[in-house]
A = this chain, B = another copy of it.
Amino acid sequence: MSARALTQIKYVGADDPSHGETSCEECPIRYRAVCAHCESDELARLEGIKFYRSYEPGQAIVWGGDQMDFVGSVVSGVATLTQTLEDGRTQMVGLLLPSDFLGRPGRSTATYNAVATTKVVLCCFRRKPFGEMMNRLPSLSRRLLEMTLDELDAAREWMLLLGRKTAREKIASFIAIIARREASMHMRSPGGRTEIELPLTREAMADYLGLTLETVSRQVNALKRDGIIELHGKRGVVLPDFARLVEESGDDADGGWIS
């Protein structure tokens, strides 16, 4: 199924020296990534060991079970973490947007399949030196703990979605999540009219939501028929009334997404 399509272009991402000169101070994810709390002297030490890699849409970053000798942050683009059963059933377990962290320091093999869904640039560190840095720079390990706790909260919200929401609520929730993350990227909150771009195909949305792609398609179009969303092309979505969408998502309130 999708796993097959993905492995077609499975190879290691190219080292990308074109980013070699990019200064951390000017990095687009400077204040959100794992390095967010670092002072400029600490940042300089990280800068000394970083390197960039880039991946094309559909390209595998790592495959679950394979050796993984680096960790890194998504600088730009979107990647997914997925898990599969023997018979091909696939569940997405992570959606990596800019500033999100990939890999586990202290573990040498990947646990999940990581795949770029758009062009992705990763700011990487070799695992060992990064581990050293973690020990030397408390601001680094403190930030990683913070990010991991946030991810755990997100995973638990996701579990509620997977276990208890209807297909319609799942779709509405997903669109609301994307709208919130896009908004927080630009430091605004999703207000009245909002325009977003879905970062995933229908099939990838299905893997995110624990549905089939047909059900995703049907429910997206049902929300459109009901005036909750407008569609512009396959990926473009306009939300005439964000609050209306949240109502459809089944969540009680807008879960305090201010920051």
Contact = CB atoms under 8 A, between A and B. Distances in A.
24 contacts: A83-B159, A85-B164, A85-B165, A85-B250, A85-B251, A85-B252, A90-B164, A91-B160, A91-B163, A91-B164, A93-B159, A94-B156, A106-B146, A111-B153, A111-B156, A112-B156, A135-B138, A141-B141, A144-B145, A145-B148, A151-B152, A158-B159, A162-B210, A163-B210
A152 B153 contact: no
Given A81-B156, A90-B164, 12 more contacts: A85-B164, A85-B165, A85-B252, A86-B250, A111-B153, A112-B156, A138-B141, A141-B142, A141-B145, A144-B145, A152-B152, A163-B210
B164 A89 contact: yes
Q: How large is the interface on A (under 10, 10 to 19, 20 to 34, 35 or more residues)?
A: 35 or more
A130 B138 CA distance: 16
A interface secondary structure, majority: helix
Contacts of A157: 83
A205 interface: no
A196 B81 CA distance: 33
A145 B142 CA distance: 9
A11 B134 CA distance: 41
Copies of this chain assembled into the complex: 2
Contacts of A165: 85
Contacts of A142: 141
A141 B159 CA distance: 26
Contacts of A111: 153, 156
A149 interface: yes
A106 B153 CA distance: 14
Interface string A22-45: 000000000000000000000000
B252 A160 contact: no
A164 B112 contact: no
Nearest to A166: B89
Nearest to A169: B85
Contacts of A106: 146
A209 interface: yes
A258 interface: no
A67 to B, nearest CB: 15
A159 B160 contact: no
Interface string A166-202: 0000000000000000000000000000000000000
